[in-house]
Amino acid sequence: MAERFSGTSEEESPEPQPSRSKRRYKVTNKAFEEMVEMVSILRREDYNGKKGPYTRPNMRKDKIMSSVVTALEHKFGTKRAKEQLRKRWSDLKSRVPKQYW
């Protein structure tokens, strides 16, 4: 047993190193077209409510987002969740304002 614990054996493998390369996804042309279509619909429908005070703004936003989901599905054939599109819209406005405009 003393032999077993003394030194390192060849069978022991070093601790697995975490991968240093992060997987990056290329933005496809179709994804960019989806984003442009989404932005145009949301701006046209005044998703942010800049044109006036609305009663029940959350219900209004939910209805607009449902129409965006339907439009993207018909035009591009991809089904996106409302929450995913809300997050993308928020990211566009705050993190990437150049792409938004």
53 has pLDDT over 70: yes
Give the pLDDT of residue 4.
Answer: 56
Phi and psi based region of residue 56 (left: phi greater than 0; alpha: psi -120 to 50; beta: remaining) = left
Can you give the pLDDT at residue 64? 94
Sign of CA dihedral 54, 55, 59, 63: negative
Q: What is the share, in percent, of the chain residues with pLDDT greater than 70?
A: 66
**Per-residue pLDDT tens digits for 55-100:** 899 999 999 999 999 999 999 988 889 999 999 888 888 876 665 5
Domain assignments of the chain as residue spans, ordered by start: 27-100
Question: Does the pLDDT value for residue 54 go beyond 70?
Answer: yes
Confidence (pTM): 0.64
| Over residues 26-37, mean pLDDT | 78
Angle (deg, nearest 10), helices 82-94 and 29-44: 90
**What is the DSSP secondary structure assignment for residue 92, as one 8-state letter?**
H
Note every long-range contact of 15-24, with CB atoms under 8 Å and residues 24 or more positions apart, other chains counting: none
